[in-house]
Chain A
Amino acid sequence: MTADVNQFPALDKTKFEQRGIEFRLGIPVTTAVSVGNSIAVGFGDGSVRIFTSGQSSDAIKAHKGIVLCMSKDGNHILTGGDDGRFLKISLDGVVTEIGNFGTRWVDNVTANNGSLVCSSGKIVYLWSPNNKEPKLFEHNSTVGGIAFDTKGKRLAVSRYDGVTLWKKDYTKKWVSSNLIWKGSHNKVSFSPDGKYLVTSMQENAIRCWRLKDKIDFAMSGYDRKIKSFAFVGETSYLATSGALGMGVAAAICWPFDGEGPMGRQPTCLSYTGNNEVTFVEPFPSENAIFAGLSDGSVFLSEIENKNNTIIIRSFTGSEVSAIAVTDDSSSILIGDMNGNILWTSIWDK
């Protein structure tokens, strides 16, 4: 469907679109990560491009088929692909292969205190700065997601039937414990204070564990699978996709302050329309989130002031698949499944 990317309906463009720069690349955007004041974007043809001040670099040939996941290590990008490779890429396009797993995909990548980490199949691989060979963390089923806590001391690995929690014991040996809940767990994250662990499940729900006593509970009521979630703000809300209201597109935000979300009502950030929120991205400097919709539009909403909602990008007809904000919070990049990209400054001059 690359042929029709130039036929946007003649809707009024937002001021963000008017002052921004639009790219119509026709290649699905799979992921985006900010590195300083640049934003790296991964695509469904295996390439990576670096966007800086609204300018795109040449395509960096990274993977054979699809850039499946992306993270960063200092001023480098980490990517995993369907060619089974785990790559480290510099902003000027130098590609270094960290690992190669052949026909087995690299589904997750991250970095932690100088270590490079990825998952492929049932195994998480960790390369310490001084070791050539990775340390292997094995699980009983394919890894859904990986996450370190803010201090980098604990590693959570989601999979079928729960989460494996790894940490170093007093002899500096990695030991594991299990958080059990039946079903398929996809993405995983610690709350910023390290007190909670959340996963998005195949069922339309978030599973949450309070780590001090391993009490677990569900955050449910979603219409769709939760493809995207993120913690945001000083009081720490968990913003989630997956809700589909009648006549409103909604991002659901659960409070994680005080006694946590158990038994409390979420805040519902909504905007008119019959679309699903497919992507949520925190606005780090504000207590706000960017919500991307299945029709390509994006709104910005303050969590504790719902009336303060503005449309950043209008309809494109293609699901929002990536949003990233530069580290100085000055600019935003939005990408969708048809390869439409908007780079724009967030603040009025």
Chain B
Amino acid sequence: MENKHQVPVTVLTGFLGAGKTTLLNRILTEQHGQKYAVIVNEFGEQGIDNDLVVDADEEVFEMNNGCICCTVRGDLIRILSGLMKRADKLDAIIVETTGLADPAPVAQTFFVDQDVANKTKLDAIVTVADAVHLSSQIEDHHEAEEQIAFGDVILLNKIDLVKDEDIDVVTKRIRKINPFAKIIKTTKCGAPLKEILNLDAFSLKRILEVEPDFLDSDHDHEHDDDITSLSFESNTPLNMEKFQDWFGKLLQTKGQDILRTKGILDFKDQNDRYVFQGVHMLMDASPMGKWPEGKERSSRLVFIGRNLESMNLREGFENCKSA
């Protein structure tokens, strides 16, 4: 069979002024001995010799299915496909997005284009957040909130400018939107690159490892359009048909409000674990081998999105349990 070597792609997001450029410049100037391609939006400075800078326009197009959330970065398809024709192979690709960008179209590009999915893989979405301004940015700009919701890694930057108790407040705020991300506190984005690049955070395998440390969800301060998360667990095996029916309809009708989903599923009469990961209406699912011998089988399902309370998710999930 063909050797499926996929080049990892890291997506770098972050609201204006959070320090994304600082991080990018570090990647471009640090001696890492790796061959990176960096896809930037504004005409950037040229990197050192072993990095390759590509100019892109962050061009999003709507798929022809009449749905406004099904958007894709066509420029990324073009550039990633082009980079895969290089004679000397890349160790990683980094995609910078602008401060006001929605990360969903970038992630969805990897679900939609088969060539891109075959030859590259979405490694992680890294969000740089400004510890000083994040709370107010989240209040005023839905983009800032979405970037937090999509982060697999969140660099909480500029903590040297914030009092300890305020760091706790902003950390709590991040956790409420996205309890699954790894938060790294930094000044000047000073985290080691190995904690940012090549993490395999988006791989289906990783879902099995993530142990969400949930805070009690306090609903004392919540706007209708605030992003929240919900997770469900069950030790009763699920009925596959019922689950597919419920979950398929849910993504079709509520996919615009559901930003991310992840899950490990234990289906009745199935020996394999099923895992999936989704962005809005699009998802990637597959069996992931047998359940470990002697360990309890259970299902876990996680949602990040808006108006989750209105979707009767618990009831829907409960109904999928096999009788």
B163 at the binding interface (Cβ < 8 Å) = no
A66 at the binding interface (Cβ < 8 Å) = yes
Q: How far is the CA of A45 from the CA of B88 in the complex (A)?
A: 7
Instruction: Evaluate whether A102 and B55 lie within 8 angstroms (CB atoms) in the complex, with A43-B87, A45-B88, A66-B82 already known.
Output: yes
Q: Which residues of B contact A82 (CB under 8 A)?
A: 52, 54, 82-83
Chain A nearest Cβ from B46, distance in angstroms: 8
The residue from A66, A161, A182, A202 contacting B85, defined by CB atoms under 8 A apart = A66
Which residue of chain B is the closest to A321 with respect to CB atoms? Answer: B85
- Judge whether B55 and A182 touch: CB under 8 Å: no
Q: How far is the CA of A181 from the CA of B62 in the complex (A)?
A: 11
- Judge whether B59 and A142 touch: CB under 8 Å: yes
Chain B nearest Cβ from A228, distance in angstroms: 13
- Contact segment of B73-81, B93-101, B243-251: B73-81
Instruction: Evaluate whether A202 and B86 lie within 8 angstroms (CB atoms) in the complex, with A160-B61, A183-B64 already known.
Output: no
Q: How far is the CA of A26 from the CA of B86 in the complex (A)?
A: 11
- Judge whether A183 and B61 touch: CB under 8 Å: yes
Q: Which residues of B contact A203 (CB under 8 A)?
A: 63-64
Q: Which residues of A contact B43 (CB under 8 A)?
A: 102-103
The residue from A28, A102, A321 contacting B86, defined by CB atoms under 8 A apart = A28
Instruction: Evaluate whether A44 and B87 lie within 8 angstroms (CB atoms) in the complex, with A103-B44, A141-B59, A160-B59 already known.
Output: yes
Which residue of chain B is the closest to A295 with respect to CB atoms? Answer: B2
A76 at the binding interface (Cβ < 8 Å) = no
Chain B nearest Cβ from A123, distance in angstroms: 11
Q: Which residues of B contact A107 (CB under 8 A)?
A: 78
- Judge whether B62 and A142 touch: CB under 8 Å: no
- Judge whether A225 and B115 touch: CB under 8 Å: yes
Q: Which residues of A contact B40 (CB under 8 A)?
A: 103
Mark out the residues of chain B between 106 and 123 whose CB falls within 8 Å of any chain A CB in the assembled complex.
Answer: 112-115
Q: How far is the CA of A89 from the CA of B113 in the complex (A)?
A: 34
Chain B nearest Cβ from A182, distance in angstroms: 5
Q: Which residues of B contact A266 (CB under 8 A)?
A: none
- Judge whether B61 and A161 touch: CB under 8 Å: yes
Instruction: Evaluate whether A1 and B3 lie within 8 angstroms (CB atoms) in the complex, with A103-B55, A121-B57, A224-B114 already known.
Output: yes
Which residue of chain B is the closest to A140 with respect to CB atoms? Answer: B59
Q: How far is the CA of A182 from the CA of B79 in the complex (A)?
A: 21
Mark out the residues of chain A between 176 and 202 whose CB falls within 8 Å of any chain B CB in the assembled complex.
Answer: 181-184, 202
A154 at the binding interface (Cβ < 8 Å) = no
Q: Which residues of B contact A224 (CB under 8 A)?
A: 114
Mark out the residues of chain B between 1 and 34 whose CB falls within 8 Å of any chain A CB in the assembled complex.
Answer: 2-3, 5
- Judge whether B77 and A105 touch: CB under 8 Å: no
A27 at the binding interface (Cβ < 8 Å) = yes
Q: How far is the CA of A68 from the CA of B63 in the complex (A)?
A: 26
A303 at the binding interface (Cβ < 8 Å) = no
B53 at the binding interface (Cβ < 8 Å) = yes
Q: How far is the CA of A94 from the CA of B78 in the complex (A)?
A: 29
B125 at the binding interface (Cβ < 8 Å) = no
Q: How far is the CA of A121 from the CA of B88 in the complex (A)?
A: 24
Q: Which residues of B contact A68 (CB under 8 A)?
A: 82, 85
A104 at the binding interface (Cβ < 8 Å) = yes
The residue from B53, B74, B83 contacting A103, defined by CB atoms under 8 A apart = B53
Max count, chain B CB within 10 A of own CB: residue among A103, A105, A224 = A103
- Judge whether B57 and A44 touch: CB under 8 Å: no
Q: How far is the CA of A205 from the CA of B186 in the complex (A)?
A: 47
Chain A nearest Cβ from B101, distance in angstroms: 16
- Judge whether A142 and B85 touch: CB under 8 Å: no
Q: How far is the CA of A22 from the CA of B86 in the complex (A)?
A: 22
- Judge whether B57 and A122 touch: CB under 8 Å: yes
Instruction: Evaluate whether A44 and B85 lie within 8 angstroms (CB atoms) in the complex, with A142-B74, A224-B114 already known.
Output: yes
B72 at the binding interface (Cβ < 8 Å) = yes
Which residue of chain B is the closest to A4 with respect to CB atoms? Answer: B3
- Judge whether A44 and B86 touch: CB under 8 Å: yes
Chain B nearest Cβ from A284, distance in angstroms: 26
Q: How far is the CA of A294 from the CA of B55 in the complex (A)?
A: 30
Which residue of chain B is the closest to A227 with respect to CB atoms? Answer: B115
- Judge whether B85 and A183 touch: CB under 8 Å: no
Q: How far is the CA of A305 from the CA of B83 in the complex (A)?
A: 39
A65 at the binding interface (Cβ < 8 Å) = yes
Instruction: Evaluate whether A105 and B54 lie within 8 angstroms (CB atoms) in the complex, with A44-B87, A182-B62 already known.
Output: yes
Chain B nearest Cβ from A203, distance in angstroms: 6
Bits for B42-69, please: 1 = Cβ < 8 Å to A, else 0: 0110100000111101010111100000
Q: How far is the CA of A181 from the CA of B2 in the complex (A)?
A: 36
Chain B nearest Cβ from A190, distance in angstroms: 22
Instruction: Evaluate whether A160 and B74 lie within 8 angstroms (CB atoms) in the complex, with A65-B52, A182-B62, A203-B64 already known.
Output: yes
Chain B nearest Cβ from A191, distance in angstroms: 23
Q: Which residues of B contact A27 (CB under 8 A)?
A: 87
Bits for A144-171, please: 1 = Cβ < 8 Å to B, else 0: 1000000000000000110000000000
25 interchain pairs, CB-CB under 8 A: A44-B85, A44-B86, A65-B86, A66-B86, A102-B55, A103-B55, A105-B54, A105-B55, A105-B79, A105-B82, A141-B74, A142-B57, A142-B75, A142-B78, A160-B74, A161-B61, A181-B64, A183-B61, A183-B62, A202-B61, A202-B63, A202-B74, A202-B113, A225-B113, A225-B114
Q: Which 6 A-B residue pairs are closest in the complex by CB-CB distance?
A: A45-B87, A103-B55, A184-B74, A44-B87, A44-B85, A183-B64
Further 19 A-B residue pairs, CB within 8 A, beyond A202-B61, A202-B72? A1-B3, A28-B86, A28-B87, A66-B82, A82-B54, A102-B43, A103-B43, A107-B78, A121-B55, A122-B57, A142-B75, A160-B74, A183-B62, A184-B74, A202-B74, A203-B63, A317-B2, A321-B85, A339-B87
Which residues on A are within 8 Å of B, measured CB to CB?
1, 26-28, 30, 43-45, 65-66, 68, 82, 102-105, 107, 121-122, 141-142, 144, 160-161, 181-184, 202-203, 224-225, 317, 321, 337, 339
